[in-house]
Every structure is written in C-alpha cells, then in structure tokens.
Amino acid sequence: MKLNCDLGEFANNNDAEIMPLIDMANIACGFHGSDPLTIKNTIKLAQQHQVIIGAHPSYPDKANFGRRSMQLSQAQLIATVQYQVAALQGLCAIENCQVDYVKPHGALYNDMMKNLVLFEDICRAIAQLNQAGKTPLALMIQSLPDSQAFATIAKQYQLRLYFEAFADRGYLANGLLVPRSDAGAMLTEPQAVVNRCQDLLNQQPLLSINQQPLALKIDTLCVHGDSPNALAMLKALRNAIKTHN
C-alpha cells in the first residue's frame, strides 16, 4: 500500500521530514496555499527521494485554504484546474521530472465526490491536458463502497484512477468523510491510524464512525500534512507497512 500526503502548502513546513516516509506527494499548486518557490523546492525534494508527484489543485480560495465550496461555470472550473496542473507540469519539466496524477484539494475534492457533473468536468479538464501532453495523468479519488459511476465516467475519458482512503479522517456510514466541523472528523492519535492501516493490510474493512464496515478498493492511504501529529503518524504507518511486508 502506497502512502500519499499533501505537501508544499506552506513555506514553513516539515516536508523535508515527511517526504522520505511517503510514496506519493500531492503538491499544492498555489490556489489554496504555497508560492512558486515553495512549489519548486517541493518538486526537488520529491525528486530527491524518488517520490511520485501529483498535482493538488483547488478552488481559487487562498483565504479559506480551499475549504469553501465555490460555484464556478464549467469553463471556469476546467480552466482553473488546467492552469494549476499545467503550472506544476512546467516546473517539473525544468527539473527533469513529471506529474503522474491529479488529486483535487479540499472542497473541490469533496464536491467532486458528491457531484458527478463536477467530477466529469474535472475528468474533461485532465483529458484535455493528456491530449496536449506526453505523459497521461491519472486522477486520484476517494474510494467508496460503490465507485462504479466514477469508474464509468473516467473510462469514457481514458483516465486511470487511483482509489484512496484516509488514515487520519473519520468516515460516515455511506463512505464519505465526516465533515471537519463535526466531532470525530480527525484521527489524531498515531496508534489509531496504525490500527486502521493494519486492518486494511490484513484485508479487513475500514470502519465508519458508527462502526459500520466499509468495503473499499484502496490503492493508497493518505495522511494530511497539516494534521496534528502528521509526522508521527507517517513514521508509525511506514513502520507498520514495512513490518507487514
């Protein structure tokens, strides 16, 4: 199981300590956090540790860290996503590396998982980038008990999907995340995160906040870089995965 983490979001960060522990880095593209120099330094750090690079675009909402839903037209949304991903691709090309996938951030990610029209617009944006580029981008989405509708749309746009689960977030019975404003939204104790990971490695279902088992296809496990105890969680997760393997 691959570990992924949202990085490059702040100029003052602990990314240098986190990067060696993960397999996939979701690098902020500037619209919810970060700046050009931080983005470039994060790319170099990922390259140094042979970490797969993903673009982490968001709504244009730096004031709210991309965690507020916005109503954009289809044309605005596609341009917003493409602008951010293309910027990261350009900086990666300068460093002789590449972007492998796209993982939307915050409210854009949550809205995508609740709205198939929005999801298709994001697929369209990435497909158009793929037509113009040499390396096809994949799309990372949240694994749900029933992801068939998402898989069908992605197939129409010839997109690979990475299905992810969240090591540090609470789940509702329908497989979506507990809103950050609600109790139980975040798991902050490293041992609780490790227990979840060990269950998944042993083919056990992930449990919702009310202890309902969720059968999920999982390619990668996410820890948010700005979560409390993120570094300790990732160290514990990396050790658990190494021990299991």
Write the pLDDT tens digit of every residue in 162-175: 999 999 999 999 99
What is the rounded average pLDDT of the residues 23-47? 97
Beta bridge partners of 177: 171
What is the rounded average pLDDT of the residues 120-146? 95
The tens digit of pLDDT for each residue in 62-92 reads: 999 999 999 999 999 999 999 999 999 999 9
Instruction: Tell me what pLDDT residue 11 has.
Output: 85
Which long-range contacts does 168-174 make (Cβ < 8 Å, 24+ apart)? 168/193, 168/222, 168/223, 168/224, 168/227, 168/230, 168/233, 169/224, 170/208, 170/209, 171/206, 171/207, 171/208, 171/209, 171/214, 172/208, 172/209, 173/208, 173/209, 173/210, 173/212, 174/144, 174/145
Tokens of 226: 């700005």
pLDDT band at 27 (very low <50, low <70, confident <90, very high): very high
How far apart are alpha carbons 223 and 233 in whole angstroms? 8
- What's the Rg (C-alpha) of the chain? 17
pLDDT at residue 13 tops 90: no
How far apart are alpha carbons 226 and 56 in whole angstroms? 14
Tokens of 228: 């409390």
Lowest pLDDT segment from 48-57, 112-121, 215-224: 215-224
Which secondary-structure segment (H or E) carries 112? helix 106-114
How far apart are alpha carbons 146 and 26 in whole angstroms? 24
Domain 2-168+217-224 - what CATH class?
A: alpha beta
pLDDT at residue 227 tops 80: no
For residue 237, give the DSSP letter: H
